[in-house]
Amino acid sequence: MSGTLIKISETLADSSLQSALYKATGRLISHRKAAIDPQVLDNYQELRSHANAVKKHTIENLDHYLEQFERQVAANGGKVVYCENNEEAADFIISIAKQQSARLIVKSKSMTTEELHLNDWLQKHGLETVETDLGEYIIQLAGETPYHIVAPAMHMTRYDVADIFTEHLGIEREEVPEKQTMIARAVLRDKFLRADIGITGANFLIADSGAVVLVENEGNARLTSTMPKVHIAVAGIEKMLPRAQDLGVFLKLLGRSATGQPLTSYTSFLSGPRRENEADGPDEFYVVLIDNGRTRLLENPERRQSLYCIRCGACLNHCPVYRKIGGHSYPWVYSGPIGAILSPQFHGVERDAWLPYASSLCGACGEVCPVKIEIPKLLLELRSEVVEKAPRSALERLAMKAYAFTMTRPFLYALAGRFLRLAAKLPIPNGWTQERDLPTMPKRSFREEWKSL
């Protein structure tokens, strides 16, 4: 918590970061708003409800769809591998790398592999893994974690990028974003042409087709899944959708909620290695399905809706807390409201007991969620779990009992009210009123007013 507190106060004190954060999320908010306007999308709410129903059904029958997916991937000539955690996932990828005598791995943006710290594991085994999404590449060079689910380098300026590129690429300082982008293109293009293995995430897994769906704007996910001999997609088991036709709903929601795009520049629907009648594409195709704590979330029928998330980032953009404290103040790779409900469920509420409280409960996150996850409700549930599990002092327990006793007895309640109206006139110790004013107390209570009406 203390590290987090420092991060929070640093973020709050950094006025240029505050304004960048506010502007960047503000722009995403207005793009989304324009993209779901009834003039351009007449059934947005219907799509949300439908997406929620499809996800609910899929999660409730997840084992069925996992097995169907597995059969279909095999029928397409690919292979599904289940992994409990990062160690198993890394072991599998290392075994493939050995088979291929691979040295270089290119990666496209994947929150699941961030969650697993996969790059660290692979690098420990002498494998060079290069992030190829521009934002991810920048933060990989800087040794940081993503600031935002869809905009990993949201907190950096062109000058930060200039510093990072000069230091790590040994080039002359360049401060123009267009030119910086072209520098990254050239460096990474060379990596794409030499890489032996490409690792992607998956926005969706399609059970009836054995397909992995990748949604992006840059083309790096296409390159990662097209150029190397081996394509490995790493995905959480919850990314499943039953049918290819469900994409009609989910693609319409994802791009709009994330960046306000009806469709992003590229959507790849990938089902297996290159076929005989096809000119190019990978020779081998693997899907690594990750648990890493997800099955624990399935146990609670109320809370398993957290697994419906399609990682659009809309709840971050709309959260008054995220917009002030930023992505690095959260303890895990998932930040914002979705992070505040995922982290405690993955790691236990004790680990970051403050997280469910990092919300004003304004409800914006739930309102903008494209799959209608009831985030505010889950935050409250997690808060009550924190309270149930936290050891409370005898004094607090006694105070709560006295409170309950008073509140259930009208006579005592009226008496206590009269007493507190008087007590509020006394100065309060501990400097509590140094930075806040107490409201002025009325002379008579509402109940007294009511009687005299």
Nearer to other proteins, 311 or 383 (CB): 311
Q: CA torsion, points 202, 203, 205, 210, in degrees to nearest 10? A: -60
Distance CA(289)–CA(80), nearest Å, equals: 7
Report whether 290 contacts 237 (CB < 8 A): yes
We find the least distance from the C-beta atom of residue 331 to other proteins, in angstroms, to be 24
For residue 38, the minimal CB distance to other proteins (Å) is 15
Closer residue to other proteins in complex, CB, 62/353 = 62
Q: Is 170 left (phi over 0), alpha (psi -120 to 50) or beta?
A: left
Closer residue to other proteins in complex, CB, 97/237: 237
DSSP string, 405-452: HHHT-HHHHHHHHHHHHHHTTSPPSTTTTSS-PPPPPPSS-HHHHHHH
Give CA–CA dist 106/195, Å, rounded. 6
| Among candidate residues 108, 122, 73, 137, the one with its CA nearest the CA of residue 225 | 108
**Residue 203 vs 359, nearer CB to other proteins:** 203
Q: How far is CA 34 from CA 31, 66, 177, 369, in A?
A: 5, 36, 26, 16
Shortest Å distance, C-beta 275 to other proteins: 5
Which one, 213 or 338, has the nearer CB to other proteins? 213
We find the least distance from the C-beta atom of residue 116 to other proteins, in angstroms, to be: 14
The two beta strands, 211-216 and 104-107, are unpaired
Q: 81 or 315: whose CB is closer to other proteins? A: 81
Question: What length does the chain have?
Answer: 453
Cα separation of 285 and 73, whole Å? Answer: 9
Provide the minimum distance between the beta carbon of 110 and other proteins in the complex, in angstroms, as a whole number: 15
3-class secondary structure, 281: coil
Report the residue number, 63 or 437, with the smaller CB distance to other proteins. 63
- Closer residue to other proteins, CB minimum distance, 96 or 353: 96
Cβ 234 to other proteins, closest distance in Å?
14
Judged by beta carbon, residue 54 or residue 122, the one nearer other proteins is 54
Q: What minimum distance in Å lies between the beta carbon of 307 and other proteins?
A: 11
Q: How far is the CB of 24 from other proteins (least distance, A)?
A: 6
Q: How far is the CB of 118 from other proteins (least distance, A)?
A: 16
Q: Could you tell me the smallest distance in angstroms from the CB atom of residue 404 to other proteins?
A: 35
Euclidean distance between CA atoms 404 and 206, whole angstroms: 52
Q: Which is nearer to other proteins, 60 or 302 (CB)?
A: 60
Say which residues have a Cβ less than 8 Å from residue 68's Cβ, sequence separation at least 6: 207, 208
Picking from 213, 230, 208, the residue whose alpha carbon sits closest to that of residue 93 is 230
* Other beta carbons within 10 Å of 185: 15
Beta strands 211-216 and 79-83, pairing class: unpaired
